[in-house]
Amino acid sequence: MKSVFEYRDYRAYMQDFYECRKKKSAFTWRRFAMLAGFSSSGFLKLVCDGKTRLSKIGVEKVLPAMNLSGTQADYFREMVTFCDSSNPDLRQAAFEKMMQIAQGNKIEFLESKSFAYFSSWVNPALRELAPIMKGATPLEMGHALIPPIPAADARKSLELQESLGVLKKDECGNYVQTSVGISSSREVVSATVVNMQKQYANLASDALNRFSRRERHISGVTMGLDKEAYERLTEELDAFRKKVASIVSNVKKYDCVYRMNLQLFPLCKKVGDK
C-alpha cells in the first residue's frame, strides 16, 4: 500500500487501507469499526463513501486502528481538514502543512508548483506582462505591476512559471508564453482559487480610488431574484465570459494587462413565503 503522504483524500487512504487488509485476511467494515472503537459497524464505510465525515474525535480513533502515528498521523489530520473544511483559508493552510510534512519526509509533492501558481494574483499578471516587456529586469516588471512588488517576488514568480513551462525565454532572452496549461487536481485548485479571488476583489476595491473613470469600468446592479432568474443570469454570465475569451484570443499586440471580475452574490438571507 502507498504511503499516506502520497494521498490527498483521506477517504481514499482509508478505503485502500481496508482493501489491503481485506486481501490479507477476513477483514470487514465491522472489524475496522471495532478496532477504531465505533459502535456502528458501517460508520467507516459511510465515511469512505462520502456520506458522512470524521469528527476530530473520530480522527483520533481511526489513527491507531490504521497504525498511523507521528508525522503520518499529523499528515492525516491535516488531510481531513483539507477535504472536509468549508473554510477556504483553513483548507489552504491545511494543504500547505500537508506539503511541508510530506517534503520533510522526502516525498515529492507534485502539486506544490501548481498550488504556488494559484496562490497569488502576481503569477497570472506576470504571465501576461512579461512577454510585452522585452529586455526588462524582474525589478522593472515588478514595479510595472499595480500595486508594485519587490524584484525578488517578481523573479520568484518568473522562475516558477518557467519551471511549470507556461513561460519560456526565446533566443533573445525575452519571455514568451507557451501553449502549456497549468494542470492540477480539482482539490488543489479549489483550495487556492478562492484565496486568489479574494485578492482580485481587494484589487478591484482599490481600483476605485487608484484609477480615474476613464481608466476603469466598475458598475453593478442591485436586484431581487428568484431561483429561475438567478440561474438564467449565471448562464448569461458564462456566455459573456466565453465571448470575452473569444475577443481576447484575437488580440495580437497588447500594451496593458487587465483583470475583469464577473460577480453575482446575495446580499441577504432568503426570505420565506411568510
Q: 206 and 146 in contact (C-beta within 8 Å)?
A: no
Q: Give the global pTM.
A: 0.75
Q: What are the backbone dihedrals phi and psi of residue 169, each rounded to the nearest 5 degrees, phi first? A: -100, 140
Q: How far apart are CA 204 and CA 127, in angstroms?
A: 19
Distances (CA, A) of 63 to 76, 193, 210: 8, 31, 52
Q: 176 and 167 in contact (C-beta within 8 Å)?
A: yes
7 pLDDT band, cuts 50/70/90, is very high
Residue with cell 485502500: 16
Assigned C-alpha cell, 69: 502515528
Predicted local confidence at residue 205, as pLDDT: 94
Q: Is the model's pLDDT at 185 over the cut of 70?
A: no
Q: How far apart are CA 11 and CA 50, in angstroms?
A: 8
Predicted local confidence at residue 187, as pLDDT: 67
User: For residue 216, how many C-alpha atoms fall within 13 Å in the half-sphere facing its CB?
Assistant: 16
Predicted local confidence at residue 271, as pLDDT: 85
Residues 242-270: tens digit of each pLDDT: 999 999 989 989 999 999 999 999 988 88
Q: How far apart are CA 209 and CA 145, in angstroms?
A: 16
DSSP β-bridge partners for residue 177: 167
Predicted local confidence at residue 184, as pLDDT: 61
Residues 79-122: tens digit of each pLDDT: 999 999 988 889 889 998 999 999 888 887 777 888 888 889 99
For 224-243, what is the mean pLDDT? 95
Q: Which percentage of the chain shows pLDDT scores above 90? A: 73
Q: Is the model's pLDDT at 192 over the cut of 90?
A: no
Residues 118-162: tens digit of each pLDDT: 889 999 999 999 999 999 999 999 999 999 999 999 999 999 999
Look at residue 167 and give its three-state secondary structure: strand
Q: Is the model's pLDDT at 274 over the cut of 60?
A: no
User: For residue 120, how many C-alpha atoms fall within 13 Å in the half-sphere facing its CB?
Assistant: 16
Residues 13-48: tens digit of each pLDDT: 999 999 999 998 889 999 999 999 999 999 999 999
Go through the chain and tell me how many residues it has.
274
End-to-end C-alpha distance for the chain, whole angstroms: 56
Q: How far apart are CA 28 and CA 62, in angstroms?
A: 15
Q: What are the backbone dihedrals phi and psi of residue 168, each rounded to the nearest 5 degrees, phi first? A: -145, 165
What are the sequence ranges of the domains in the chain? 4-107
Predicted local confidence at residue 88, as pLDDT: 82
Using a 10 angstrom Cβ sphere, with 0-12 exposed, 13-18 middle and 19 or more buried, the burial of residue 84 is middle
For 197-226, what is the mean pLDDT? 93
For 194-210, what is the mean pLDDT? 91
Assigned C-alpha cell, 21: 487488509
Assigned C-alpha cell, 130: 512579461
Predicted local confidence at residue 273, as pLDDT: 61
Predicted local confidence at residue 186, as pLDDT: 67
Q: 161 and 127 in contact (C-beta within 8 Å)?
A: yes
Residues 43-80: tens digit of each pLDDT: 999 999 999 999 999 999 999 999 999 999 999 999 99
Predicted local confidence at residue 118, as pLDDT: 86
Using a 10 angstrom Cβ sphere, with 0-12 exposed, 13-18 middle and 19 or more buried, the burial of residue 229 is exposed
Q: Is the model's pLDDT at 189 over the cut of 70?
A: no
